[in-house]
Structure 1
Amino acid sequence: MLTEINFDGIVGPSHNYAGLSLGNLASARNFGKVSAPRAAALQGLAKMRANLDRGLAQGFLLPQRRPDEGWLRQLGTTPEAASPTLRANATSASSMWAANAATVSPAPDTADGRCHLTAANLVTMPHRSHEWRETLAQLQIAFASAQHFALHAPVPAPFGDEGAANHMRLCAGHAAPGIEVFVYGQAGGPFPARQHREASEAVARIHGLSPDRTVFARQSDEAIAAGAFHNDVVAVANERVLFTHELAFADREGFYAELRAKLPEVEIVEVPAAAVSLADAISSYLFNAQLVTLPSGEMALVLPQEARETPSVWQWLEAHVGGNGPIRHLFVHDLRESMANGGGPACLRLRVVADPATIDPRFMATPDKLDLIEALVTRLWPERIAVEGLADPALWRTCVEARAELCVELGLSELNRAEF
């Protein structure tokens, strides 16, 4: 039976605050601070466990090998000889944000009736541009059934594709045909536009989507300039509901009209800028929440603690839940380590609509499996990492060995190949 499954990225042992993401305000603001990789991973695992307890299907993706020595060799260097900047780019744990792993089109939307996944190329940021090979390797194992899935290599450079963080799907129900929304940015302004329209159009063609059920919408320059480096910082969709900030889209009225024409039952929940400023929306990650449908059929938001701590945001949310709006429940989680690097609940997960029975069970979460991962993280993940510590070979060995043991414990030792 087709259902929505959230695949969360397990936070890797090299999680650090090197400030590599231009346009990500939290990443820049926390540059140089001491990170807590063990706490970061445990916070993410606690969110996965809570979603399992809520009756939601939950999967995970594994951390990637860091430092990425293969990438450094392609650049003619090694971790020992690399410049501090290159070394930081090779050591980032940014694959934890699985929303950037791929773009996913479920089987009801595609011409061949299979679920299509295209790995994101992430070419606009050096520290993320080398993730796709191992991302694709994991996807090819998890979704190996050619009867049910089609896997695609990234859109070629120079067209930047950042995956599901700039993609939404609206539908009457997860198993019903949907309207797929691709959100792109426009070059110019103080920060780079990471999602190019050409990349979005290529993914739609590769996935065999009908133009009648596909929408391309431009993110507003104002949102990008305010720090909404991905669309999922200012908008999120689930089934028939679009939850969005008033200033998220360049042509708001035109976008809404196109949605209503293609999916008449769509319900647009717009938060006015007068109630919640863009600054408050972005700092709290109000829209980088997981908007999910519970087994009861009611919708809930899985929010970071920062949303509750931002008065304008919490006031709006309480008023909405207290009224007749479609969002009925608010679940708050401590994800401070991820948030400090610019990634909230929605950044940490990739949504896939599929039959869980068609997916490699090694990537599906269970309470016992989460117990195993938590114990391993507690034992092996570094407690603290300072940015200057990224030059320490002992730290590199710790990170490589910890991740390798996780792969073995989960029965995925094939991911311990040095390169992909």
Structure 2
Amino acid sequence: MTFHEMNFDGLIGPTHNYSGLAVGNLASAKNAKNTSFPREAALQGIEKMRTLVRKGYKQGFLLPNARPDLNVLRNLGFTGTNAQIINKAAKQAPELLSMVYSASSMWAANAATVTPSLDSKDGKVHFTPANLLTTAHRAIEYPQTERILKAVFNNTKYFKVHSALYGQSEFADEGAANHTRLGSSYQDAGVGLFVYGRTGQSNLTRFPARQTLKASQAVARAHETRDALFLQQSPVAIDAGAFHNDVVAVGNGPALFFHEDAFVASQQAAVFAELAERMPFKAICVSRDDVSLADAISSYLFNSQLLASPDGSTHEMHLIAPTECRDNQAVFAYLERLIADDSQPIRTVTYVDVRQSMSNGGGPACLRLRVLMSNEEMAAINPNFIATEAQLDVLSGWVNQHYRDELSPADLADPQLMTESYDAFTDLEEVLNCEGVYRL
């Protein structure tokens, strides 16, 4: 049985806007209240998928959450018709309107944590939607995300989609953005490396430490993960703006590419030693002398996608990096030295333009969920969510038909935006033959 990695990118929704809702996300805060460009954002995401498809990688996509989520506003006391609810929220609590309009589900790395069948005791691929408790605009995502995952991975013989973890602060879970599956190859059982920011309810950082140890342990337990290791993210990195571990580290196969300040040093040596016992582990550490933590975070160097070759070989790996890495002199110089260094497996870098996502704090790796599957498991996926060239053309046409060119935070108060968005989602259900996912 042959296994391959497939990336599922989050399709960017029509209400992509900059409301600055994510505390600790420096890009989100910097661009708060700016005008966004939803059509451009979605087409940039589709073009990234197309780039990987043309390079020979297996690619899928996940639907965006439907926005605005008026059920949340109804739960919070707003009544009347849909338009009346929008008008009341705009006048009485505009911050809540921003919350229910957020298109943050585009960052599929936060959709769920995934354990492949090779690594689970029951031989199924497991998914746990992230509860995303730390921020209100993201905490409303998981009910829709669970339905979306069940629509894509709809064959229960091969896939098990769990419910999100119990909604309490000690079990705050941010999904695959804090989880890396490492292994000798795609054909061998691997190790789930779970990275957490805090052990209890209290933060020891200025910015929220979003992932908890208890949440990581609970996911590993629910997935019946054969081999899991737990490592704490450095508080220094969190307070510098690394709100998820995938802002300072990315791994694949036996390679872990990370910043010197990514992890708590007292734990790192022991965990790396355990990884080295299980595989030909390759730690690629970027020193703060080569790339400062500030440059790493502003360029999203480690939020690049680290990919094996299209045939699954981890001896010649590829980095899909945001164009901000090319534009940062120190980061670009480091990457040029890196790919010339034959002692490590990263051989090429491809730069992709996802500036609309980057302006809200999400790079190439934020936009995708990694899923390792056998050929048989891949054949069991709902084929409507596989990103062929033809399907990407369909999605581009849908975006061009329904998305606005520009969107400002003030536009959220216009009920017409709601109507346009709901029409778009209804059409998308028909296009992809997945009626009932949105329940509008």
Q: TM-score, normalised by structure 1?
A: 0.97
Q: Aligned pair 1:293/2:302, yes or no?
A: no
Could you say which residue in structure 1 is the equivalent of 2:346?
327
Question: Residues of 1 paired with 2:96 and 2:194: CA distance?
Answer: 32
Whether the 8 Å CA contact 1:175–1:353 is kept in 2: the answer is no
The residue that corresponds to 1:391 in the other structure is 413
Q: Is 2:96 the counterpart of 1:80?
A: no
Which secondary structure state, in structure 2, belongs to the residue aligned with residue 164 of structure 1? helix
Match of 1:129 among 118, 134, 139: 139
Structure 1 residues 345-356: aligned runs within 5 Å: 345-354=364-373, 355-356=377-378
Moved more, 215-224 or 392-401: 392-401
Q: For the Cα contact (< 8 Å) 1:67–1:79, is it kept in 2?
A: no
Report whether the alignment pairs 1:98 with 2:108.
yes
1:316 to 307, 310, 334: 334
Match of 2:219 in 1: 203
In structure 2, what is the Cα distance between the partners aligned to 1:344 and 1:17? 15
8 Å contact 2:16–2:36 — kept in the other structure?
yes
Which residue of 1 is the match for residue 357 of structure 2? 338
Q: Is the 8 A contact 1:5 1:353 kept in 2?
A: yes
Quick check: 1:244–1:287 contact (8 Å CA) kept in 2? Answer: yes
- Match in the other structure for 2:81: none
Q: CA deviation at 1:295?
A: 2.4
Structure-2 residue corresponding to 1:302: 320
Inter-partner Cα distance in structure 1 for 2:391 and 2:328: 35
Contact 1:12 1:403 in 2 (8 A): no
Task: Name the amino acid aligned to 2:49.
Answer: M
Per-residue CA shift, 1:300-352, capped at 9, x if unaligned? 00010000001111111100101202100100011000000000000000011
TM-score normalised to structure 2 length: 0.93
Summarize deviations over 1:34-74 as a string: whole Å, max 9, x none. 00000000000000001001111000011111100111111
| Contact 1:276/1:313 (<8 A) preserved | yes
Shift of 1:172: 1.1
Please state whether the residue corresponding to 1:44 is helix, strand or coil: helix
Matched, 1:284 2:313: no
Distance 1:29 1:267 in 2: 35
For 1:114 and 1:96, locate their aligned partners in 2 and report how far apart those are by CA, in whole Å: 26
Give distance in 1, aligned partners of 2:397 and 2:380.
Answer: 28
Contact 1:66 / 1:93 at 8 angstroms: preserved in 2?
Answer: yes
Q: Is the 8 A contact 2:318 2:346 kept in 1?
A: yes
Report the Cα offset of residue 127 of structure 1.
Answer: 0.2
- The alpha-carbon deviation at position 416 of structure 1 amounts to 3.5
Tell me, yes or no, if the aligned pair for 1:190 and 1:225 is still in contact at 8 Å: yes
CA contact (8 A) 2:86 2:414 kept: no
- Secondary structure at 1:415's aligned position in 2? coil
Gaps (5+ residues) in structure 1? none
Look up the match of 1:232: 246
Aligned position for 2:39: 38
CA RMSD of aligned residues (A): 1.1
1:166 aligns with 2:178: yes
Counterpart CA distance in 2 for 1:184 and 1:337 is: 28
Q: CA deviation at 1:130?
A: 0.9
Provide the C-alpha distance between the structure 2 equivalents of 1:406 and 1:300, rounded to a whole number of angstroms: 32
Q: Could you tell me which of 244, 263, 269 is aligned with 2:284?
A: 269
1:358-408 deviation digits (Å, cap 9, x = unpaired): 211111111111011101111210110011111111111112212221221
Whether 2:273 is the aligned partner of 1:257: answer yes
Partner secondary structure for residue 150 of structure 1: strand
In structure 1, distance between residues paired with 2:87 and 2:216: 38
1:375 partner letter? G
Which position in structure 1 is the counterpart of 2:82? none
Unmatched 5+ residue regions in structure 2? 79-84
| TM-fit CA distance, 1:258 | 2.7
CA apart distance, 1:255? 2.8
Identity value in percent: 47
The separation in 1 between residues aligned to 2:187 and 2:64, in whole angstroms, is 30
Please give the per-residue CA displacement for 1:273-312, whole angstroms capped at 9, x wherever unaligned: 1110000000000000000012253210001000000111
Aligned to 2:404: 382
- The separation in 1 between residues aligned to 2:401 and 2:310, in whole angstroms, is 35
1:59 counterpart residue number:
60
Q: How far does residue 126 in structure 1 lie from its aligned partner after superposition?
A: 0.3
Q: Distance in 1 between matches of 2:21 and 2:97?
A: 11
Q: Is the 8 A contact 2:319 2:349 kept in 1?
A: yes
